[in-house]
Structure 1
């Protein structure tokens, strides 16, 4: 009987840890998404490929 109660407590702790981990992963994802969306100067690497395609020479990359 006592072992069953301990097993239930351990299972609850594992479930709590799993939910906390998933919430933290989601929070990290949303934070990075917000920073990438609202700060275009920080996410310029995402747009660099487009700039390279449109550039006619190396001088256009620096202007």
Structure 2
């Protein structure tokens, strides 16, 4: 789960991630400090990093079973 420091939904998202982990769901949370909600749509380095993390997680999820 990717969150950003200045996102009004950040605390809810991070609490949700903790609850998922508590019930055994494999969960990774990365907070991007200094960023706002939806920052991954901006042409900035933090967005490229976030999209890379998303791609890596999806690749692992889809291809780890083969």
Q: Structure 1 length normalisation: TM-score?
A: 0.34
Question: Higher helix share goes to which structure?
Answer: 1
Question: Higher strand share goes to which structure?
Answer: 2
Q: Structure 2 length normalisation: TM-score?
A: 0.33
Structure with the larger RCO, 1 or 2 (CA within 8 Å, 6+ apart):
2
